Amino acid sequence: MKAYFSDRMGAALLMAPLLLFLGAAYAWPFFGVVNWSFTLPEPGLGQYGTLLSDPLVQSVFVRTLRIAAIVTIVSVAAAYAITVVWVRGTPAQRVVAEFCILVPFWISVLTRAFGWVALLSNRGLFNTWLQAIGFISEPLTLVRNEFGVIVGMTHFLIPFAVFPLASSMRGLDDRVLLAARGLGSSRMRTFWSVFVPMTRSGIIGSALIVFVFSLGFFVTPAILGGGRSVMIAELIYLRIFQSPDWGLGAAISVVLVLFVGALMALLFRYVRPKQLI
């Protein structure tokens, strides 16, 4: 028993510097933001009342949740297809899939956002090509709206969704798939009835990562949205640096952090933590 407590004390001492660093780097600034939300411009709950009554703030919250949900669905679906090729494809297919997964990490989010602007703008490559072949007469509006934001965010987040899926797929027992095939199941039925359900933990983990990242996205929506599809992170920036309305910006930040924390608590409540790895 004495040795047990000694080991626990040693572990606590080893963890203490990390906990102190996390507290100084994250917890203390966050409590400062919480304080702003209650004290600026005057003490009280006025800023939280504004969140409940201001149509602009409410519309931004709804838009953010809608875009995050769409991006999550599209990113996880695309990442699933890529991961299947990466994990279970031929050697050549695996090399190509791995190249497609890793190369985006070498390009900054800012460069990728402006790259999509060059592709999707009215005089961009995509519209120019469609007009050249006579498919359209007028350029399509593909940027400075939600469509452009969704495309740019999805492109950025697909690689992040791949890794939990790959971990889940690599942990599958191939004998289960062989047993399903041996019992007369077709390839398609084996995939949908056996393979996909067995990778549920990877799907949940990927969806969690993508959705949380989407809620706080700033650069891509600001560039591809062009100020017409403002999301929560951009609204916080506008309230803090341009209005300035520090109290309301702080209140929005606090609500966003609490929402993400509640989402993760629910997931860990109903899903075993090891399923998200």
- Give residue 275's identity as a one-letter amino acid code: Q
- pLDDT over threshold 90, residue 42: no
In tens, the pLDDT along 48-86 reads 888 888 899 999 999 999 999 999 999 999 999 999 999
pTM above the 0.85 mark?
yes
201 has a pLDDT exceeding 90: no
**Predicted local distance difference test score (pLDDT) of residue 235:** 92
As given in the structure block, the two tokens for residue 143 are: 């940027």
Mean pLDDT over the full length of the chain: 86
pLDDT tens digit string along 204-215? Answer: 889 988 998 999
Percent of the chain's residues with pLDDT above 70: 92
- More reliable by pLDDT, 193 or 76: 76
Q: How far apart are CA 130 and CA 137, in angstroms?
A: 8
Q: Which of 6-15, 87-96, 266-275 has the lowest mean pLDDT?
A: 266-275
* Percentage of residues in the chain having pLDDT higher than 90: 32
**Does residue 8 register a pLDDT over 80?**
no
- Of 8-12, 186-190, 252-256, 258-262, which one has max mean pLDDT? 252-256
| Average pLDDT for 225-243 | 88
Determine the straight-line distance between the first and last CA of the chain, rounded to whole angstroms.
Answer: 33
CA 86 – CA 68 distance, rounded (Å): 26
In order of their start, the domains of the chain are 66-233+259-276 (1.10.3720.10)
* E-strand stretches of the chain: none
- Is 70 in contact with 63 (CB distance < 8 Å)? no
Largest interatomic CA distance in the chain: 82
Give the count of beta carbons closer than 10 Å to the beta carbon of residue 137: 7
**Tokens representing 77?**
């679906």
Decide if pLDDT at 11 tops 80: no
Euclidean distance between CA atoms 244 and 249, whole angstroms? 9
